[in-house]
């Protein structure tokens, strides 16, 4: 797991001159990667690729785990748990606002990603979990806004999120064959 490796590098002073920044960015990047991977599973299946559906929940929860570590690193190491400084950052820095939006959307998705909640919410579970696209778009935007220049990497992640969202919309709008009425 990347988190264990980054923890080891931090403890052994191998994260460079700005370890907090390296750790914070790496954890956020892994959160985005796992989020995109979880979103890619359904299109892969629909296009005839491997059926990885059983891994989708685990990937989504890994995305939440890394987003939680990313946020914890920011709040604990960067801001020293100074609530006033954190709130000021959320208000003052748009990229922090967008990142907090992404995390806030992920919270109910993680909480409801278990069998009992799926059964309890019924059809509403699927509707709720469509918010993952909002979370992914906000996370990609957070990454783009974070950088001072326009390097290719954040744009690639944003393009992947956009492509997965567009695929989802196009798939839902595709013409479906009419079902024949059952013979009596």
Q: What is the pLDDT along the chain (184 residues), one digit of tens a residue?
A: 788 888 888 888 888 888 888 999 999 999 999 999 999 999 998 888 888 889 999 999 999 999 999 999 999 999 999 999 999 999 999 999 999 999 999 999 999 999 999 999 999 999 999 999 999 999 999 999 988 777 788 999 999 999 999 998 888 888 877 766 555 5
Number of helices (H) and strands (E) in the chain: give both, helices first. 9, 0
Rounded CA-CA distance 184/180 in Å is 12
| Model pLDDT, residue 179 | 66
**What does the DSSP 8-state code read for residue 179?**
P
| Model pLDDT, residue 136 | 96
Rounded CA-CA distance 1/69 in Å is 13
Contact of 34 with 63, CB cutoff 8 Å = yes
| Model pLDDT, residue 152 | 86
Instruction: Concatenate the DSSP letters of all residues of 39-94 into one string.
Output: HHHHHHHHTT----HHHHHHHHHHHHHHHHHHHHIIIIIISTT-HHHHHHHHHH-H
Contact of 23 with 17, CB cutoff 8 Å = no
Cα separation values, 163 from 15, 21, 137, 142, 159, Å: 33, 29, 11, 18, 6
Rounded CA-CA distance 26/36 in Å is 15
Query: Domain map of the chain by residue range?
Result: 2-169
| Model pLDDT, residue 181 | 58
Rounded CA-CA distance 146/52 in Å is 32
């Amino acid at each position: 797991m990347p988190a264990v490796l980054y923890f080891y590098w931090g403890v052994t002073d191998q994260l460079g001159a700005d370890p907090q920044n390296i750790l914070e960015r790496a954890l956020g990047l892994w959160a985005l990667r796992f989020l995109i991977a979880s979103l890619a599973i359904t299109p892969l299946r629909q296009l005839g690729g491997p059926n990885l559906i059983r891994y989708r929940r685990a990937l989504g929860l890994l995305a939440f785990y890394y987003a939680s570590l990313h946020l914890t690193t920011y709040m604990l190491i960067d801001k020293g748990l100074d609530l006033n400084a954190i709130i000021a950052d959320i208000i003052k820095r748009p990229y922090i606002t967008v990142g907090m939006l992404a995390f806030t959307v992920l919270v109910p998705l993680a909480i409801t990603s278990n069998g009992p909640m799926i059964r309890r919410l019924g059809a509403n579970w699927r509707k709720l979990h469509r918010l993952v696209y909002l979370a992914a778009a906000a996370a990609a935007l957070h990454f783009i806004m974070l950088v001072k220049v326009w390097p290719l990497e954040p744009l690639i992640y944003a393009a992947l999120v956009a492509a997965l969202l567009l695929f989802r919309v196009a798939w839902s709008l595709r013409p479906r064959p009419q079902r024949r009425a059952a013979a009596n």
